[in-house]
Structure 1
Amino acid sequence: MTGSRALSIGTRTLSHVAVWFYAALLLLPLYFLVVSSLKDNTEIYADGFGLPPKWRWENYVNAWNYVDLGHALFNSAYVTVLSEILIIVLAVPAAYGVARSRGWIGKLVERSLTLGFLIPGFAALVPTVLLAIGLGLFRTREFLILDYVAGAMPLSVILLAQYVRALPHELEESARVDGANRLQILWRIYLPLIMPALATVMLLNFINIWNEYLIALVIGGPSVDIRTAQVALPTLVTNQAAQFGLLTAGTVIVLIPVYLCYLALRKRMENALVSGALKG
C-alpha cells in the first residue's frame, strides 16, 4: 500500500514538472518577444533574453505611427468581427440541420464539408483571385470577409454538429409538444446549450482570421486603406531598415486582441473540453 502511494505521488510530481516545463517552453518565445520590443538592434544582438538596459517604450509609439497600425488594426477588426458574425449565423442552423438529419442528404452535406479540410487555402488562391475580379470585389475588405467565412464553414459546422448530436432528442420532442417551431427550438434550446462549443469555434476562427496573411495580402493588397495588421507588420522591416525592436513591438500590439479574445471565451471553451471529456 505504501509502495503504491509513493508511486502515485512520484507520478503526480513528475506530471507537474512536465506540465510546468511545457508551460515554460510556451512562455519563452513570448518573453523574448516582449523584452525585444523594448530594445534596439544592438541590445537584442548582445543579450537577446536579458532585460533591456533602457526601456524603449518609444518603439511602440514608432511602430504604431510608421505603418499606421491603428488603421490596420481597425481593418483587421472589421474583417474578423463581421466574418465571425456571418459564420455564427450560417454555421449554427447548418450544424443543427446536419446533426438532426436522418436521410442521405444530411450525410452527403456533411461529407462534402469534410472535403473542405483537404483543400489548403493557397491551392485555391488563383481561382479566388479570379472570382474576386469577376465579382468586382478585388482589393476590397468585403471579399476577404466572404472568403474567410467560406473557409471557416467546414470546421465550424462539423464541430457544432458533433456537439448538437450529443444533446438528447427528448429536449426537442418536449419543445415540439409545447408548440415550438424549429427556429424557436434552435434559438431557445439548442443555442444556449451549445455555447461552450460555439465559444471554441469562435476562438479558433478568430485566431485563424486575425492571423491570416496570404489572402489578405493578395486580395486586400498593401494599400494603407484596406490592408490588415498582418500585412502592415512586415512593412516595418522595409520602411525602417530592419529595426527589430519596432517589429517586435508591432507584433506585441497585434497579439493583444488575440489574448483578449481568449480571455473572454476561455471559460466557455474549457467547459466544452470538460464536457467532451466527461461524455467520452
Structure 2
Amino acid sequence: MAVATSTTVDNQPARPVVRAPRRKRPSRFTPGLVGSYALVLVYAATLVLPLYWLFISAFKSQLDAVDAPFAPTFSSGFDNLTRVWDLLNLGDAMLNSLYITAASLAVTLVIAIPAAYALARSQGRIATVFERIYALGFLIPGFAALVPTLLLAIQLDLFHTREFMILYLPASAQPLAVILLTQFMRTVPQELEESATIDGAGRFRVLRSIYLPLTMPGIATISILNFISFWNDYLYTLVIVGANAKVRTVQVALPTLQGNQGITDYALVCAGTLISVLPVFVVYAVLNRRMESALVQGALKG
C-alpha cells in the first residue's frame, strides 16, 4: 500500500495520504471465452465448408471435383450448369416444384390463419381439445401415412398428379402452422379487437386489419419453414407424382443424374443442387428479417 505525506499548512504536521492500490483490469480473453469462440468457429466451419464445396464443385470438371475437392479452381466455368439444365430439363422441373410449393403454401396459410385466430380468441374446453388435436399431429411420422395417402390418391383418381400434393402438403403442415400462429395471435391485446368491434368491424375485418399486420413475423416464419419443407419433399413427391419428366419436381429429377455403370458425375450433381437451392435462398433473403423479428419477440416475451 502506497503512503504519501501532504504539505504542511500553517506549520501544522502533515497528514499521511493513503492511496488505494490499483486494480488490475480483467483480461479480455479468459480460457472460457477462448473455448466458446473456438466452439463457435468449429460449428460455423461445419456449416460453411459443405456450402463452399457445393459452390466450387459446381464449376469444376469431374476430375477436379474428385482430386481437388476444396481447391478454388473453376475449370469448367458455367458448362455444368447449362449441361444439367438441358440434361434434366430443369426448367420444367423448377416450374413444377414452384407450382406445387406456392399453391400448397397458399392453401396452408388460408386454412391456418383463420383456425389460429379462432383458437387464440376462444376460451373453454372445446378450444383446448381442438388445440390438443392439432398438437397430436406432431406425433405422427411422415412415412407412417405413406400407404394410406397413396391409396387415397388412387381412390380420388389423382394418382401421378401435382394437384394431390397441393392437397396433401397443407394437411401435413397444419399442426405446426396452427399451433405457432395461435401463440402469436394470443399476444395481440384483446382491447384492440374490442375497440374495432365497437366501431362496427366484423370478425373478418378484425382479422384482416388487426391480427394479420401484428402477426406478420409469425406468418413469415411459417412461410419460410413450409416453403423449405415443401420444396425439398422427395418421398411423397416421388411416390405420388412420379418420375415422369412432365410432372416431376426438381428433387425427383436430381437423383437421375447417376451415370452408366453406377458412375456419378459429382460436378453435375453439385451444379443441379446449386440450381435447386437458389429459390430457397431467395425466399429466405426476402423474409429473413420478419423471421428474426419473430424470434426476438419470442425471446423478449419468454
Counterpart residue number, 1:244: 266
Of stretches 46-55 and 266-275 in structure 1, the one that deviates more from structure 2 is 46-55
Q: Which residue identity does 1:143 align to in structure 2?
A: F
1:74 matches 2:95: yes
Equivalent residue for 1:268, pick from 250, 267, 290: 290
Counterpart residue number, 1:150: 171
Q: Which residue identity does 1:267 align to in structure 2?
A: R
- Contact persistence 2:61–2:76 (CA under 8 A): no
- Secondary structure in 2 aligned to 1:56? coil
- Computed over aligned residues only, the root mean square deviation of the Cα atoms, in angstroms, reads 2.0
TM-score, scaled to structure 2: 0.87
Equivalent residue for 2:54, pick from 28, 33, 44: 33
1:197 matches 2:197: no
**1:19, CA displacement in angstroms?**
3.5
1:173 matches 2:204: no
**1:107, CA displacement in angstroms?**
1.0
Counterpart residue number, 2:231: 210
**Structure that is richer in helix per residue:** 1
Q: What's the CA shift string for 1:12-53, capped at 9, x where partnerless?
A: 666555434422321110001111111222212211111226
Q: 2-side partners of 1:55 and 1:2: how far apart?
A: 62
- Contact persistence 2:56–2:74 (CA under 8 A): no
Going from structure 1 to structure 2, the CA distance change for 1:236 and 1:125 (only over 3 Å counts) comes to same
Going from structure 1 to structure 2, the CA distance change for 1:242 and 1:21 (only over 3 Å counts) comes to same
Going from structure 1 to structure 2, the CA distance change for 1:3 and 1:24 (only over 3 Å counts) comes to farther
Q: 1-side partners of 2:135 and 2:155: how far apart?
A: 27
**1:54, CA displacement in angstroms?**
1.5
Counterpart residue number, 2:129: 108
Q: Which residue identity does 1:252 align to in structure 2?
A: L
Unaligned 5+ segments in structure 2 are: 1-21
- Secondary structure in 1 aligned to 2:82? helix
Q: Which residue identity does 1:243 align to in structure 2?
A: D
Q: What's the CA shift string for 1:41-94, capped at 9, x where partnerless?
A: 221221111122624320000110001011000000000001111111110000
Q: 1-side partners of 2:25 and 2:157: how far apart?
A: 70
Going from structure 1 to structure 2, the CA distance change for 1:227 and 1:164 (only over 3 Å counts) comes to same
- Secondary structure in 2 aligned to 1:234? helix
Q: 2-side partners of 1:268 and 1:59: how far apart?
A: 35
Counterpart residue number, 2:243: 222
Equivalent residue for 2:203, pick from 157, 182, 186: 182
Counterpart residue number, 1:161: 182
Q: Which residue identity does 2:112 align to in structure 1?
A: A
- Contact persistence 1:95–1:158 (CA under 8 A): yes
- Contact persistence 1:36–1:245 (CA under 8 A): yes
Going from structure 1 to structure 2, the CA distance change for 1:25 and 1:53 (only over 3 Å counts) comes to same
User: Of the two structures, which has the highest relative contact order with CA contacts closer than 8 Å and spacing of 6 or more?
Assistant: 1
Identity of aligned residues (%): 49
- Contact persistence 1:237–1:244 (CA under 8 A): no
Going from structure 1 to structure 2, the CA distance change for 1:12 and 1:173 (only over 3 Å counts) comes to farther
Equivalent residue for 1:140, pick from 149, 152, 161: 161
Q: Which residue identity does 1:79 align to in structure 2?
A: I
- Contact persistence 1:114–1:154 (CA under 8 A): yes
TM-score, scaled to structure 1: 0.94
**1:161, CA displacement in angstroms?**
0.2
Q: Which residue identity does 2:125 align to in structure 1?
A: W
